[in-house]
Structure 1
Amino acid sequence: NFYSSCCQKIKWIDWIMDGFSITMAILYLVVCIVGLAGNSLVIIAILKLDKMSSSTTVYIFNLALADGLFMVGLPFIASQNFQNQWMFGDMACKVVMVLDGINQFTSVFCLTVMSIDRVIALVEPLRFARWRTPRCAKIVSAFLWLFSLLTILPMALHFSADHGLCIPDLISDDWWLGVLSYTFVMGFALPFMVMMASYVALLLTLRSQRLRASAQNQENHRLERQVTKMVVAVVVVFGICWLPFYTFNFCSLYQNGLVLTFTRAFEFVVLLSYSWSCANPILYACLSDTFRRHFRTLLCPVAKTSPSLQCNTECADSGDLVQNRLLTLIN
């Protein structure tokens, strides 16, 4: 991805065409196909069935769009890793890295904003109702795309293919350490902390509301368990996919020589970071009843029943505010 060339500042070894490289090429292809198909399905489901009727689905739409576009740069990165050569020219190198960085950061930022949105949807649904409209969500999403561009543009423009590889022009080790630290904080540490804090507040609120609710309200308890599973899955998968990648980036600063084992391990964690973008649709399909119904409706048209299957994340007229807010959260 945007930083996958960082350890290439160390002398590259000759790439050996063996079973590992072929396997990695196949895995890159699988991740790309699954990511594009899954996120395209989410986008179509929201546009066709939900029509972005709530702030939650606006953020999910932008998250799926960023994740899907993030997959577009994967074949270019896979080609360079497979052939140990960039074959698309210097301008394409800069464009791919800019687009790659925008989509990567937008994906993380959207997920972070979604975590905040979910908390206020449950804790203060009426107080912040006017700020949780689709129109406001679209404005926030547009700002996130712009902020992502401003965040990565200065670094992305340092990439060039002058030496046969699309890699950054390193000014010094200190400069590269600063870049890594900056991107780690902006692209992982701060968003992860915000998500963790939001989800802790979310779960505490859910537990408090459950204790106040009737013991016979089994449906709310079921939804709480579903939300809890979704929360844990999102946080764990995000950490698993991105923490090894940043760890290897920092480790590359202290490598005196690039050995085959480190090269292969680094390529694997790059693929792991890309797999994050195809993980969200899978999480939706596995853990969200609403998206399962949407996907079933799109993939099996004969199974359509009624428009009532549309995602109704903002319904406040059902008489059970807690249950409806929980339905919003599991979307």
Structure 2
Amino acid sequence: MESSVPFGMDINQSIAEEHFYFEHSTDGFGIAMATLYLVVCIVGLAGNSLVIIAILKLDRMSSSTTVYIFNLALADGLFMVGLPFIASQNFQNQWVFGDTACKAVMVLDGINQFTSIFCLTVMSIDRYMALAEPLRFTRWRTPCFAKIISAFLWLFSLLTILPMALHFSADRGLCMPDFVSDDWWLGVLSYTFVVGFALPFMIMTLSYVATLMTLRSRRRSTMPNHEGQRLEKQVTKMVVAVVVVFGMCWLPFYTLNFCSLYQSGLELTFARTFEFVVLLSYSWSCANPILYACLSDSFRKHFRTLLCPVAKASTGLQCNTGRFDLSGTSVRDVTILS
């Protein structure tokens, strides 16, 4: 199972040891969870691959926004690669891929998870700069600078998780960390919660609130009332969707990890709930491309451009497509593409 360390299957030692005493998960719940894991993996890979192709083929990372979205989609897509390994362990109650694969999956899982969250956080700041004072922050919002920031985020994610990921081993039949002490485990939980959830959540919330306040102020002073209200409503939906989905996918995950500290023994209900919230945390990587498709006119047009040849071949319909810019030149695209 994935655990409080945001890169995979670590739960406390008593849970790992008693996990062997449960019957093989071939009951209805086990089959249902295996199916859900497969669905999340396929949707996540397909959706994020579509985002990556759309950016490379139709936009070519012409703005800081699409550079961050590209790296976000890349991290989310790679995050899905570790899901079949975790699903296999959950379904079989054992790790069958060896100790080296255990460490490798945990490292890759952690890098991609942290990078995904960090990219989304930086994007919230980038969106605020684009709307608040675009001329002042122009030099900080070039594609070149965004690529440097993105490279730093990947490196920072590696340095953040590497010491913890190397504690993982498959010596006891499960890919799990070698526990040093209870204090060490509490420190890992607290550290990953702050770095992987609390700080990003706070920064995203503050950035989007500032964005909304700036938009409302500009509507009152410069925009026509009807257009301003429509734009503010759309941006509000985007802000609520991004923040709420992020919180719903990750808060239960961290909450149960802290609750595991007070578990003297493993109860079946707790174990199954834990397995579900792990899946919920992975579903975050599926949510991002769906949010793009639902909340961004530019991405909807890009997706339509990419998918139209397939639909045209199968249905014989004519497609109205064209080239669309993701560079965020209008206030609407600048705010919606977040």
TM-score (norm 2): 0.92
2:204 alignment partner in structure 1: 195
1:295 corresponds to: 303
Shift of 1:8: 5.2
* Contact 1:122 1:326 survives alignment (8 Å): no
Q: Which residue of 1 aligns with 2:253?
A: 245
Matched, 1:279 2:282: no
Picking from 67, 91, 94, the partner of 1:58 is 67
Spell out the pairing of 1:199-214 with structure 2 (5 A cutoff).
Answer: 199-214=208-223
* Matched residue, 2:278: 270
Q: Gapped runs of 5+ residues in structure 2?
A: 313-318
Identical residues among aligned pairs (%): 76
CA offsets per residue over residues 164-192 of structure 1, 9 Å max, x none? Answer: 10000001111100001000000000111
In the TM superposition, residue 149 of structure 1 has moved relative to its aligned partner by 0.2
Letter in 2 for 1:112: T
Instruction: Return the match for 1:98 from 82, 107, 115.
Output: 107
159, 165, 168: which one aligns with 2:177: 168
2: CA distance, partners of 1:34 / 1:163: 32
Say if 1:223 and 1:327, in contact at 8 Å, map to a contact too.
Answer: no
State how 1:49-128 maps to structure 2 within 5 Å.
Answer: 49-128=58-137
1:157 aligns with 2:166: yes
Q: CA RMSD in A?
A: 1.3
Which residue type is aligned with residue 239 of structure 1?
G
Alpha carbons 2:168, 2:175 under 8 Å: kept: yes
Q: Which residue of structure 1 lines up, in the alignment, with residue 269 of structure 2?
A: 261
Find 2:9's aligned residue among 4, 9, 12. 4
Structure 2 residue aligned with 1:319: none
Indicate the residue corresponding to 2:321 in structure 1.
305
Aligned to 1:32: 41
Match of residue 145, structure 2, among 133, 136, 148: 136
C-alpha distance after superposition, 1:46-101 (max 9, x if no partner):
11111100000100000000000000000000000000000000000000000000
SS at match of 1:162: coil
- Secondary structure of the residue aligned to 1:6 is coil
Shift of the alpha carbon at 1:262? 0.3
Q: TM-score, normalised by structure 1?
A: 0.94
Match for residue 184 of structure 1 among 193, 196, 204:
193
Amino acid paired to 1:43 = I
**2:101 and 2:167 mapped to 1: Cα distance?**
13
Spell out the pairing of 1:214-233 with structure 2 (5 A cutoff): 214-216=223-225, 218-233=226-241
Structure 1 CA distance for aligned equivalents of residues 9 and 206 of structure 2: 29
CA contact (8 A) 2:14 2:265 kept: no
Letter in 2 for 1:227: V
The aligned residue for residue 41 of structure 1 is 50
Q: CA deviation at 1:214?
A: 4.1
Structure 1: tracts of 5 or more residues without a match: 316-323
Work out the number of aligned pairs and report it: 320
CA distance in structure 1 between the partners assigned to 2:322 and 2:170 by the alignment = 54
Q: Which amino acid aligns with 2:285?
A: S
- For 1:137, the aligned partner's letter is A
The one-letter amino acid paired with 1:166 is: C
Is the 1:70–1:100 Cα contact (8 Å) retained in structure 2? Answer: yes
Alpha-carbon distance, 1:9 to partner: 4.0
Indicate the larger mover: 9-18 or 180-189.
9-18
Is residue 235 of structure 1 aligned with residue 243 of structure 2?
yes
TM-aligned CA distance change 1:118 to 1:88, over 3 Å: same
Matched letter for residue 181 of structure 2: S
Distance 1:188 1:18, change over 3 A: same
Is residue 2:336 matched to residue 1:330?
yes
Q: Tell me, in whole angstroms, the C-alpha distance in 1 between the residues paired with 2:230 and 2:9.
A: 41
Counterpart of 1:318 in structure 2 is none
- In structure 2, do the counterparts of structure 1 residues 57 and 214 end up closer, same or farther at CA, with 3 Å as the change threshold? closer
How many Å separate the matches in 2 of 1:127 and 1:287?
27
Distance of 2:86 and 2:223 partners within structure 1: 54
Contact 1:248 1:266 in 2 (8 A): yes
